[in-house]
Amino acid sequence: MRHNAFVLLRELVRTSEAVTATSRRGTTIGEIARLLREASPAEAPVVVAFLSGELTQRQIGVGYAAISELLTGHSQAGDDAPALTVSETDAVFAEVGAAAGARRARASAASAASARASAVSRSPKASRPSGICTT
């Protein structure tokens, strides 16, 4: 189950599917407890977040629809797919969130600069340099 002392993402998915497939509380608790025993102390919060359907980053600026084709292709690969760990997956989400945040910040700054330029060009004082008395 463990790959280089890390929980594999496919084990988390298997656990999630097992929990979803049963209504027995004991089975659910047993499956989650088994996975958490395998997790290192650093992985445990990530495992809990993922099992809860959350990201540790809260939002990464990319919706499910944007990555659904990628997920569909990998889910069909089965055991031949590269063994991603929960920690690696969390790190990728963090990188995606940082990149998306940087793009949003650049876009916001560009929009603000454009709005300021537009406002200045509409201003009646725009044709006069500031600081020069015209009287």
pLDDT attached to residue 57? 83
Report d(CA 47, CA 40) in Å as an integer.
10
pLDDT attached to residue 122? 66
Q: What is the pLDDT along the chain (135 residues), one digit of tens a residue?
A: 544 468 998 999 999 999 999 999 999 999 999 999 999 999 999 999 999 988 888 777 777 676 665 555 555 555 565 678 889 888 888 888 888 777 777 777 777 777 777 667 766 655 555 555 555
Closest CA to 10 of 120, 99, 97, 88: 88
Decide: helix, strand or coil at residue 72. helix
Predicted structure pTM score: 0.66
Which tokens is 63 given? Answer: 């919706």
Decide: helix, strand or coil at residue 55. coil
pLDDT attached to residue 53? 86
Angle between helices 44-51 and 25-38 in degrees, nearest 10 = 150
Decide: helix, strand or coil at residue 22. coil
pLDDT attached to residue 93? 82
